[in-house]
Structure 1
Amino acid sequence: MFFDLALVFLCIAAVSQFLYFLLITSNHKDFVKRYNRDFKEFRPKVLLTVPCKGLDMGFFRNILSLMRLDYENYNIHFVVESESDPAYESLQRIIDRCRDDMPAGFAKVLVAGISKGYSQKNHNLLHSLRFAPHDTEIYAFADSDTRVSRLWLAHLMYPLRNSKYGVSTGYRYFIPARRRFSNLALSSMNAAAAQIMGKSKYTTQVWGGSMAIRKELFEQLNVANLWQKSISDDLTLSAAVRNAGYKIRLMPRCFTVTFEDMSWGQLFEFGRRQMLITRVAYLRMWLWGLFCLLNHFLGVWILPVAAAVRFAMGENDAKLFAAAAVIHWASLIYRTYMRRRTFEFVLGPYGGYVRQLSMWEFLLNPLWLALMLALILISSFGRTICWRGVRYRLNGAFDIERLNR
């Protein structure tokens, strides 16, 4: 009897959650269309900081996209750990080559040195801000492995004209550099997470590869002090902004693309690292993700099996489980279809890649959900990560130990 009640409860929970995400998906589509226009009325002075380590795939075109934005009032700091980094000379060459035709006021390469006790990325970001021009109004941040549209910065600035928004942000879409299942898994899992961002305050977080904050608020929240103790730039900033009563605004046109080619080993390392950082830096978000993925797994794999078993046993509630499984799968199909439509629209010239990937995403979605659940469960164990060649031990949200130089 207890087992039967538990199954019914799980059945209702799974269906309820999928209907909730179905609503978010529909709202996200409308949200994306509403913000698809040019924003030219708010052009504050911006310092754009881009931390770099090594030569990412498509590095030249990525950097070029950041230097040729349709925005006349910004400066760029590219920051590396040392001059021995391959990115250092490449950045110098790109800047020299493009100096005469870039709209940015200036572009510089800064050498930050080795971090002590916190993430190298945060160290690079803070080093850049120490050399910010005195008239800077907005701090913006991007990653060197992302490629942005010409209107990216203008859209990133738009929400910050309103003081109720603490941070504006975008997100990324992974595009496989070549067709292999590990790349398809990476793209599909990332797109599923990106699809629910934007409309609901519970599902919108700051993403460090595309974010901006007013300089005044950055200093008011003492973000520099928080970054000097933490592994994460974006999750730490998300918590600080929300705790201070400000909102986070995701801008659809601030989505970026990242061309990536990962083996299965690299994918598991990347996925575990992202999940583990979330568990340490923002436990509530990690627990929410675990709860949602468990329900997803229940709906995809357990409900159909339960329906078949109950039917074979001649139980009257077999129809209930069958109906729940049908609702679950129908919502999954709809969400996959809307994901394709949304990102075709958002990514503009790169929308063709979304169309090419959509068939595989649709056919293998249940496998990707199981893989995401496996990654978040694996991240429950251990405290050590490797990030861009540097190993860290995450003792706590603000207790980070660098293990190698």
Structure 2
Amino acid sequence: MNVLAIALFGILTAFVVLQIFYILAFVSSMNLPSPKTIQDELLPKAAVILSLRGADPFLAACVRALLYQNYPQYNLHIVVDSQEDPAWNIVNKTIQQAQATHVQVNPLIARHNTCSLKGSALVQAIKALDDSYQVVAFIDADVIAHPTWLRELVIPLMDERIGATTGNRWYITQSGQWGSLVRYLWNTVAVVFMCTQQAPWGGSIAMRLSVLRQSGLLEKWTQSISVDAPILGALQAMGLNVKFVPTVMMPNREECNLARCLRFITRQLLSTRLYNPQWLLIVAQVFTSTLAVVLTIVLLLIALSKGNIGTALGIAGGFASYILAIAVQLVFVEQVVRRVIRARGESTTPFSALMMAKTLVAIPLTQLVYAVTVVSAILTQKVEWRGISYQIKGPWNIRLIEYQPYELSRQPIDTNISL
């Protein structure tokens, strides 16, 4: 038993060390110098595209933020799934209150049955743009853009070696729900990995319109379940890079229960399975580390049941050291991200003692959830997103099973709950 326990601690230590390298690379990218300022007249005309199905918890704030960007020439293009959608009235009311004229709101008309509704919405909006636009930015409705968001995404695109600029989502949980904590922890690992691998996030990204058209992404989006996953490969084929912009790490303050969290992570991992060439490596890492965690817990229970107190204390101490090592890494990354968020004047709520205690418990729980959702993503042949089911036969073989407008009854009663 002692030999097996030592082997398991060796595996867990190796994963902690591996994670340290990822974190150091992430922190290095977060500490890059701010891009140089550019005079307004040199900034290209931009289109910001927001696709909607359902009314996200902070939708009105999202739209207001996009209407007041510190950018000289831009128009906001909003595509709502249908005029029956609860988002339709919220969007139009927000625009009327702002008396904004640089915005267009259209229902989704060019709906494809071979891709996600978001993909259809983005393709419809892009095809409607004339040649006066040079840059296109995309944003998700769970993001509230700070005033310089668009400017910060566009300026690095002045370097023609860069095909896309991107930030990422950072969950800030306040309720301490288990689903919110697990999603936060899982996303932290995902963000660190994505940033070090130059993987773009479609919820906050900008590209030159010419690159977008030449890359073949519009065609790919009409055959894909994911919008952001195909971007990196398409740009690499053109000899272009994706640049991570640390100042556009976007806080998300929505909450979710454990069931919604499981569905969310499964959808994210399904996209990874379909489009990420490193999928098998990810699976191997997840299962190896999870098996080590599970076997460590099993050994601890066996030692306790046999009255081997010394062995049990050794195993418990080693496992506690692993959890604390992960927690220290988490605190380090959290502080780096919060510094960026606070620099924009946005608030961040400190963790309470209870929240910190629950987070320690949530670390091994997240490990188990990760393994379960990887299995789910491997087995998934049909996925549901906001009331629409898609049949998945392959990366480029997607079928929207049946369309129906988003139902108001699907809106959570709690206005802070993610859709």
Alpha-carbon separation, structure 1, partners of 2:193 and 2:89: 39
Say which is worse superposed, 144-153 or 206-215, in terms of deviation: 144-153
Pair 1:380–1:32, CA change in 2 (3 A): same
> Where do residues 128-277 of structure 1 align in structure 2 (5 Å cutoff)?
128-176=125-173, 178-198=175-195, 200-201=196-197, 204-277=198-271
Alpha-carbon separation, structure 2, partners of 1:33 and 1:205: 18
Structure 2 unaligned spans of 5+: 404-419
Alpha-carbon separation, structure 2, partners of 1:18 and 1:278: 23
Which of the numbers 361, 370, 373 marks the counterpart of 2:371?
373
Q: Please report how far the alpha carbon of residue 9 of structure 1 lies from its aligned counterpart in structure 2 after TM superposition.
A: 7.4
Alpha-carbon separation, structure 1, partners of 2:174 and 2:108: 31
Q: Give CA deviations for 1:94-128 in whole Å, capped at 9, x if unaligned.
A: 1122135xxxx711101222332211100000110
3-state SS in 2 of match to 1:56: coil
In the other structure, the counterpart of 2:49 is 49
Q: Please report how far the alpha carbon of residue 280 of structure 1 lies from its aligned counterpart in structure 2 after TM superposition.
A: 2.1
Pair 1:340–1:307, CA change in 2 (3 A): same
In the other structure, the counterpart of 1:19 is 17
Q: Please report how far the alpha carbon of residue 289 of structure 1 lies from its aligned counterpart in structure 2 after TM superposition.
A: 2.5
In the other structure, the counterpart of 2:412 is none
Q: Please report how far the alpha carbon of residue 251 of structure 1 lies from its aligned counterpart in structure 2 after TM superposition.
A: 1.2
Q: Please report how far the alpha carbon of residue 214 of structure 1 lies from its aligned counterpart in structure 2 after TM superposition.
A: 1.2
1:46 partner amino acid: A
Matched, 1:388 2:386: yes
Q: Please report how far the alpha carbon of residue 307 of structure 1 lies from its aligned counterpart in structure 2 after TM superposition.
A: 9.1
2:141 partner amino acid: S
Q: Please report how far the alpha carbon of residue 142 of structure 1 lies from its aligned counterpart in structure 2 after TM superposition.
A: 0.4
The count of aligned residue pairs is: 392
Please provide the CA RMSD for this pair: 3.2
Say which is worse superposed, 255-264 or 83-92, in terms of deviation: 255-264
Structure 1 unaligned spans of 5+: none
Q: Are the counterparts in 2 of residues 208 and 234 from structure 1 also a CA contact under 8 Å?
A: yes
Q: Are the counterparts in 1 of residues 65 and 146 from structure 2 also a CA contact under 8 Å?
A: yes
Q: Are the counterparts in 1 of residues 200 and 228 from structure 2 also a CA contact under 8 Å?
A: yes
Q: Are the counterparts in 1 of residues 249 and 337 from structure 2 also a CA contact under 8 Å?
A: no
Say which is worse superposed, 300-309 or 348-357, in terms of deviation: 300-309
Q: Please report how far the alpha carbon of residue 369 of structure 1 lies from its aligned counterpart in structure 2 after TM superposition.
A: 1.8
Q: Please report how far the alpha carbon of residue 358 of structure 1 lies from its aligned counterpart in structure 2 after TM superposition.
A: 5.0
TM-score (norm 2): 0.83
> Where do residues 31-180 of structure 1 align in structure 2 (5 Å cutoff)?
31-36=29-34, 39-40=37-38, 43-99=43-99, 106-113=102-109, 114-176=111-173, 178-180=175-177
Q: Are the counterparts in 2 of residues 207 and 234 from structure 1 also a CA contact under 8 Å?
A: yes
Alpha-carbon separation, structure 2, partners of 1:52 and 1:190: 22
Q: Are the counterparts in 2 of residues 79 and 111 from structure 1 also a CA contact under 8 Å?
A: yes
Alpha-carbon separation, structure 2, partners of 1:330 and 1:266: 27
Q: Please report how far the alpha carbon of residue 328 of structure 1 lies from its aligned counterpart in structure 2 after TM superposition.
A: 4.3
Matched, 1:289 2:285: no
Alpha-carbon separation, structure 1, partners of 2:73 and 2:350: 33
Q: Are the counterparts in 1 of residues 29 and 244 from structure 2 also a CA contact under 8 Å?
A: no
Q: Are the counterparts in 2 of residues 160 and 167 from structure 1 also a CA contact under 8 Å?
A: yes
Q: Give CA deviations for 1:17-55 in whole Å, capped at 9, x if unaligned.
A: 421220221232232122456744562221110001121
1:252 partner amino acid: P
3-state SS in 2 of match to 1:72: coil
Pair 1:359–1:306, CA change in 2 (3 A): closer
Which of the numbers 314, 328, 334 marks the counterpart of 1:334?
328
Q: Give CA deviations for 1:45-75 in whole Å, capped at 9, x if unaligned.
A: 2111000112110111111112112222211
1:127 partner amino acid: Q
Q: Are the counterparts in 1 of residues 169 and 249 from structure 2 also a CA contact under 8 Å?
A: yes
**Whose relative contact order is higher, 1 or 2, with alpha carbons under 8 Å and at least 6 apart?**
2
Alpha-carbon separation, structure 1, partners of 2:363 and 2:346: 22
Q: Please report how far the alpha carbon of residue 8 of structure 1 lies from its aligned counterpart in structure 2 after TM superposition.
A: 7.8
Pair 1:189–1:343, CA change in 2 (3 A): same
TM-score (norm 1): 0.85
Identity, in percent, stands at: 20
Alpha-carbon separation, structure 1, partners of 2:172 and 2:317: 36
Q: Give CA deviations for 1:294-320 in whole Å, capped at 9, x if unaligned.
A: 24325544457669989x9x9xxx9x9
3-state SS in 2 of match to 1:272: helix
In the other structure, the counterpart of 1:364 is 362
Alpha-carbon separation, structure 1, partners of 2:331 and 2:173: 19
Q: Are the counterparts in 1 of residues 383 and 389 from structure 2 also a CA contact under 8 Å?
A: yes
Say which is worse superposed, 38-47 or 55-64, in terms of deviation: 38-47
Alpha-carbon separation, structure 2, partners of 1:322 and 1:217: 54
Q: Please report how far the alpha carbon of residue 177 of structure 1 lies from its aligned counterpart in structure 2 after TM superposition.
A: 6.5
Q: Give CA deviations for 1:225-282 in whole Å, capped at 9, x if unaligned.
A: 1111111110011221233332221111112122323233222222222222321233
3-state SS in 1 of match to 2:87: helix
Pair 1:324–1:359, CA change in 2 (3 A): closer
Q: Please report how far the alpha carbon of residue 219 of structure 1 lies from its aligned counterpart in structure 2 after TM superposition.
A: 1.5
Alpha-carbon separation, structure 2, partners of 1:236 and 1:10: 37
Pair 1:301–1:347, CA change in 2 (3 A): farther
Q: Give CA deviations for 1:120-163 in whole Å, capped at 9, x if unaligned.
A: 10000011012213211111100112112112112211321222
Which of the numbers 348, 355, 375 marks the counterpart of 1:352?
348
3-state SS in 1 of match to 2:253: strand
